[in-house]
Amino acid sequence: MKAILFLCLALLSPLSAAELRISTDFDGGSATIDAIDSAKREIQIRPGGNPARGWACWWFVRIDGLGDGENATLVLRGSERSTRNNGQDTGKPLSQDWAMPIAAAVSDDGKTWRQTGLGTRETDRISYPLEGTGGPLWVAWGPPFTPRETEALIDEAAKARPDLVHPFTLAETREGRPVRALQIIAEGGPEKKPAIWIHARQHAWESGSSWVARGLVEWLLGDSAEAKRLREQAEVIVVPIMDVDRVVTGDGGKEADPHDHNRDWFETPHYPEVAAAQARMKAYVAEGRLAVVLDLHNPAPRDLRPFFFVGPPELLSETARANRERFLDLAASHLAGPPALDPKARVTGANYHPLWRRISGQWVNDHGNEHTLAACLETSWNTRHSTTDGYRTVGRQLGEALAAYLAPPAP
Ligand SMILES: [Zn+2]
């Protein structure tokens, strides 16, 4: 009897639970591990990024050893490393809020993502509840999107619509990785089609923006009359990840040394993918057909609705200003969410960042055609809708807004 009781206690005791293991040795993986308490079923981590490669707010781990239905806790603190801002080392860590979504993204297979329960926030930490499935558990700041997801999107799209989808490599990064992209164009329609250029992840940590890009591609290849019309009428380029290097190494990208991708839009870009994007856009401009350039991002922790950032209106031609107002009106009616767009666009300018003139949207305003529309869409990451489905909804509705924007005037 005593022996049986002891056995039962041993089975119930946390001391008998499997050892918890944590790893980050995969694309996008990132964490500094402070403690693993297998008895308490608690793991303590911080974002692992190198501030010289951008804001250390991204984190992404694989956890092994959690039994089916077993509960555990992931305790996250902010990075302690000094961060860069406005192009300089600030001597202080980044505000931990950037690393602490209200709920984390979790997956059993590293591909399909859901949210954890709400994290419990205390002064210097947030604790996310985990539930094991008996296999590995992937947990991240938000749904990850690495070059593997770009390839999956390209494969699915090219298989579904080989007649429309033309994959290409935009550039090879400084660290030797391909920056893959899709051109979507249908036979027929006007000879000189307006070009729509969409890129995401100029800031590596903003993984949600790549899911927005994915949602747009899915919609554009779908059966709706609006999608069909848009792909016949326009040529669409989508680059799901610009800063491939820092996405792969699990770094934040934003404010990287010497500057990040979205402060690289000048005569001599540091990043080959920015130079290649500029060259392609210039070719469209030379043909008079650069219609739209959209730059996809995730915003600050307290921005709970998606919104557009645009350059100062006084620097635009009258045509470009009118086009932008029309597009923003259409976006406000189409991006109904959830999450729904905040219809009030924000204007960036000299007081936003010392290198504001080198932001891609401003470069497009300076180098585009007279009618070119440039805008940056910031999709909120810190909400219950900041999921792969929520981001894809934004992408689909963005496609609908673009279709309405380029629709031929009613006869
Ligand atoms: Zn950004």
- CA of 254 from ligand 1 middle (Å) equals 7
Give 409 Cα–ligand 1 centroid separation in angstroms: 34
Does the pLDDT of residue 343 top 80, yes or no?
yes
DSSP conformation class of 356: G
For residue 169, which of 220, 221, 241 has the smallest C-alpha distance? 241
Determine the angle formed by the axes of helices 207-220 and 147-160, rounding to 10 degrees.
0
Distance of CA 257 from the midpoint of ligand 1 (Å): 15
Q: Tell me the residues surrounding ligand 1 (ion) with CB < 5 Å.
A: 203, 206, 297
Ligand 1 centroid distance, CA of 206 (Å): 6
CB distance 44 to 34 below 8 Å: yes
Ligand 1 centroid from CA 189, angstroms: 35
What pLDDT is stored for residue 15 in this prediction? 47
The pLDDT > 70 percentage for the chain reads 96
pLDDT at 4 over 60: no
How much distance in Å is there from the Cα of 319 to the middle of ligand 1?
Answer: 27
Residue 120's CB: how many other CB atoms inside 10 A?
12
Average pLDDT of the residues in 139-157 = 98
Q: Ligand 1 centre and the CA of 303: distance in Å?
A: 13
Read off the pLDDT band of 7 (50, 70, 90): very low
Label residue 99 exposed, middle or buried (CB < 10 Å: 0-12, 13-18, 19+). buried
Structural tokens at position 161: 């619509």
Distance 32 CA to ligand 1 centre (A): 23
CA distances (Å), origin 20, targets 63, 64, 73: 7, 6, 11
Give the Å distance between the CA of 370 and the centre of ligand 1: 26
Domain boundaries, the chain: 20-140, 147-406
Looking at the domain that runs over 20-140, which CATH code has it been given?
A: 2.60.40.3120
Q: Contact, 43 vs 75, CB < 8 A? A: yes
- For 98, what's the count of Cα atoms within 13 Å in the CB-facing half-sphere? 19
Question: Which pLDDT value is given to residue 6?
Answer: 45
At residue 188, the pLDDT reads 83
pLDDT at 14 over 60: no
Is residue 265 within 8 A of residue 173, CB to CB? The reply is no
Distances (CA, A) of 288 to 230, 284, 368: 18, 6, 9
CATH superfamily, domain at 147-406: Zn peptidases (3.40.630.10)
